[in-house]
Chain A
Amino acid sequence: MGTKVNLISGRTIVQGRNLDSKMSEEYFDEVARCDLNKADMDKLGVAAEESVKVKTSYGEVVVKAKEDAGTPEGIAFMPMGPWANALVSGDTHGAGMPSYKGIDAEIEKSGDKVLHVKELMQTYMG
């Protein structure tokens, strides 16, 4: 069973360190992930490093779950990057800024593989 969360994305230091090496494993490990509160992890029945599928009205991706005490219950945090951005709304409401934070999302445990950057980008090709 999935759980409903409010999804936000943002920078992390490892993501920043790999801004110029986004094709690297370190970037993949850092960015293709989703931070959740322990309560939400338990609710989903996932342990750290297990895969979850995150779905919004705009797309879905599979990423690794990570427990983070600082993230409140009901909030999911993903480092900014291609995986989070597969889920965000492009509607800028006449302001030019997509909603990178505050997206209604649903998370469920998943047995699917986490797509590598190249594979993820392939999903946008024609």
Chain B
Amino acid sequence: MGEVLIKNGVVYDPLNGVKGEKKDICIRDGKVVADVKNPKVIDAEGRVVMPGGVDIHSHIAGGKVNSGRLFRPEDGRKGVEAKTKVCRMQSGYSVPNTFATGYRYARMGYTFVMEAAMPPLAARHTHEELVDIPILDNAALPLLDNNWMTMEYVNSGDMDLLAAYMAWMIKATKGFGVKIVNPGGTEMWGWGKNCSLNDTVPTFDVTPAEIMKGLAEANEKFDMPHSIHVHTNMLGHPGNFEITKETYDLVKDIKPAKDRQVMHTTHTQFHSYGGTNWGDFESKADVIADYINQNDHATIDIGSIILGDTTTMTADGPMEYSLYQLTGRKWTNHDVELETGSGITPFLYSGKSPVNTIQWAIGQELALLVKDPWKLALTTDHPNAGPFIGYPIIISMLMSKKRRDESAEDMHKVIYDRAIYPSIDREYSLYEIAIITRGMAAKALGLHEHGKGHLGVGADGDVAIYDMSPEETDAGKIQKAFLNTKYTIKGGQIVVKDGEVVATPAGKTYFVTPECDDKLTDEMVVKLKDKFDRYYSVTYNNYAVQDAYVPNPYEIKAPWRS
């Protein structure tokens, strides 16, 4: 591979403290280097230069994403583009096909995306799709919280064995870390029921709170790059902000293995609700933001709403059922034996709806009220709160009070009574935007140590050059610039030029190998094998994801911390 020199750009590289300095970036053999000899020169004169974007939480691949595509041909008829000499065919808006997913992210300057929920039993499916997404480096978080093994070890208090199970599962699924979704509730959904944080899950005799605490402890027994990644109980229910706060408190005293959070809570917008029903529903973004401001053990991503039609999908089966009951639209459910579940239903976020209006406000409020941008990441929980191609809209909102005021006028008037939104004056700087779209996410995932999210020497040659001046204040122009880069460079190769995809190299899949003591593993496997013999519908020997599914691997070892 050759050399690239990006000249004269205005660089925002938060992990290296670079705040909009005119600076050249040199890349050789796919990595950032100090200097180059005979490079291809890209003149970025006066334009904004950032590391490749890192998405901490997005549903782009696997069983439920594809079920979403399959049952929404009406979504597939949107966003249709014919194949070109470079690109494969594209289709879909809220559930784009694999090719469109890669191209659209790359055009926004993103080069790494975390698939946020991988059912372990269907992990091969997630990997098959990840391989088919062009350009993007990727990873996936296996769901480990409603697993019978997890609950049994939490119940018996065998934290080392729980850690051994967690390690085995992350290895078996070629996963990246621990995903938690409605702990206990998804198991109870196996019987059509649900539970809250401190309810006892029958049969297994554990509470969701105990499950989350146990997994956090297990996670920190290894040098895991990422903390537990949490979608706590009662997502989307009025008044759930108390549960969210209690969830943070659960892990307050656990020491992280590395310099990072102990818990990342995702799509926090859906968990910051006040009121007792949809009638008196209100924003509690301020309470959640205050908690985050006062504590350092938890980070969030916002899960901001994009108005319009989308496809909601989560391992939180009971939540999707409630949503389907509200709308009466099509509803798919897929419970996964001994492990997890999922539900999918289409949803329209309308600015005319008081509830949707408050939801819309909350996501942005969280971003504006959390003081330290290193504690939050920009997401739309794609496609749950809206498709990822809405990120530039959110960016322009955060950067422009004027745009927010104008937008508020188009929303239901409840925004002036039951949201904090209109009273917030803060405007994000480009430096802060760079934090919440790459630096923070890379750090929270531990990927900054592996070349992601920054442009220091040794970093991956992943760069986004936006066609805008650092002085730009026009929200429309900001939005446009962030939707289609002037250049996106991935591993030193130009993949997007003037908003068009010009090359489609394969991305790498990052996975973590937690290194567990053999004796512990052996003891755990005896119990696990019994589960396969008696309860699983596949055999133990056919379970683990074979190497063939990860043709471009990047392994991160996570040693046991004695």
Contact between chain A and chain B defined by CB under 8 Å: no
A residues apposed to B, CB below 8 Å: none
